[in-house]
Amino acid sequence: MNGLQDFWVYLASTPLLGLSLTLLAYIAAYQFFVWRHYAPWANPLMWATALVVGVLLISQTDYRTYFEGAQFIHFLLGPSVVAMALLLWTYWPRIRRQAVPLLIASLAGGAAAVFSAVALAWMLGIPREVILSLIPKSVTTPVAMGIGIKIGAEPSLVAAFVVITGVTGAMIYRWVFALGRIRSNVAKGYALGTASHGIGTAAALQFNSTAGTYAALAMVLQSVLAALLIPLLFHLFI
Amino acid sequence: MNSMMPLKGFTVLLLFQAAGELLARIAYLPFPGPVLGMLLLAPCLVSRAIREPVEACANFLLSHLSLLFIPVSVGLMTQLTLLRAHGIQLVLVLIISCAVGLLVTGWLLSWLLPADGEAQEPTVKSSEEKSKAAKQESAS
């Protein structure tokens, strides 16, 4: 028993623990996702996260220890976003023709997500500082944090809401699109990128490459528009 | 394919990310370095010397993008008490507003770009498309 514990302490002190735990959880969750025929409730990100959190809680490992290893995977997000340039480049002639409709959809979709969240939270009597942290929730994390600071939101809450919004979008999109009779991959992808930033884009890339491209584009446009408009509108009206 | 290709591609991606970070710092832009790096790289892909290595690497990175979000998503465990304090109402707000965002964007685009079919052949196949193609092959 002691030997095992020593081994665990050794593992936890190297990046091996966080790295292999993340990969194992993802591979298992992805197999499950394939086995369930890509059902939205079997979303690999959600189940892999649940698995990792479960293991960390049972083994009483804190998040910081885990992140020591997992940061190597986390770091790859940067180059992956840069790699989305390839999607933009491939679809550029088509995107340029559709610039105006896409811009309108970004503005309206982003505004709809923000206003419905704020209005609903206000009706439910959620405190003001929490409502402020809801505003940048549809934007990719680093941009959302920047916006949050400008409007006086709580940074840790902002980050949590961004992640939850992303995972929510990845889990509910199929039902929402079926309910709304949204069939084109362009509309599906663009909606996912607008409402659920990078995590929505990851989900879109998993079901169709056209959807993935439009999701990546929507994510970028949403973060640019939000970074410019939210602080401006906020200081004008509140 | 040249075995150096994915490695070169990864190097290109890192260099453009660094260029993006640098640009954000110098010009005080409120955007993350990787997003600027993407915008800088897109026009440079006209050059085959840059595009081919990037293609070799991008497929690998983008087909399992969800994996890369796990560390951040696990970080929610540090916010559990905060989230619990505001309870189920907050979850409700997040789910409903996300659905509203998806619907409004989806409807608007279906209406504004009605004839948008799947005319263009995709270059990056998603895992689901691949598995569908494999199924069709095995069925025929």
| CB neighbourhood size of A86 (10 A) | 27
Query: Rounded mean pLDDT of A44-58?
Result: 94
Most confident stretch, A6-20, A147-161, B96-110: B96-110
Top-confidence residue, A82 or B129: A82
pLDDT for the residue numbered B119: 45
Establish if B53 touches chain A: CB-CB under 8 angstroms: no
* B90 at interface of A, judged by CB pairs closer than 8 A: yes
pLDDT value of residue A145: 82
pLDDT at B132 over 80: no
The answer to whether A186 contacts B120, with C-beta atoms less than 8 Å apart, is: no
- Higher-confidence residue of B50 and B133: namely B50
Cβ-proximal residues to A58 (8 Å cutoff; 6+ apart), any chain:
none
pLDDT at A201: 93
pLDDT at A164 over 60: yes
Which of A45, A81, A207 to mutate to test binding with chain B, by most B CBs within 10 Å of its CB?
Answer: A81
Whether A81 and chain B come into contact, CB under 8 Å, resolves to yes
Which has the higher per-residue pLDDT, A153 or B14? B14
Confidence (pLDDT) at B121: 42
> Contacts of residue B32 in chain A, CB cutoff 8 Å?
81, 140, 142-143, 223
The per-residue pLDDT for A175 is 92
Please tell me the least confidently modeled range out of A101-105, A193-197, A222-226. A222-226
- Residue B3 pLDDT class (50, 70, 90 cuts): confident
Q: What is the rounded average pLDDT of the residues B93-118?
A: 88
Confidence of residue A117 (pLDDT cuts 50, 70, 90): very high
pLDDT of B1: 57
Q: Is the pTM of this model over 0.90?
A: no
Mutate to test the interface with A, among B54, B105, B107 (most CBs of A within 10 A): B105
> Out of B58, B96, B110, whose CB is closest to A182?
B110
Q: Among all residues of chain B, which has the CA nearest to that of A117?
A: B97
Question: Helix H segments across A141-184?
Answer: 141-151, 155-179
pLDDT, average across residues A88-99: 88
**pLDDT for B122 beyond 50:** no
Buried b (16+ CB within 10 A) or exposed e, A9-41: eebbeeeebbbebbeebbeebbebbeeeebebe
Mean per-residue pLDDT, A94-123: 93
Backbone angles phi, psi at A125, to 5 degrees: 75, 30
Tell me what percent of the residues of chain A surpass a pLDDT of 70: 99
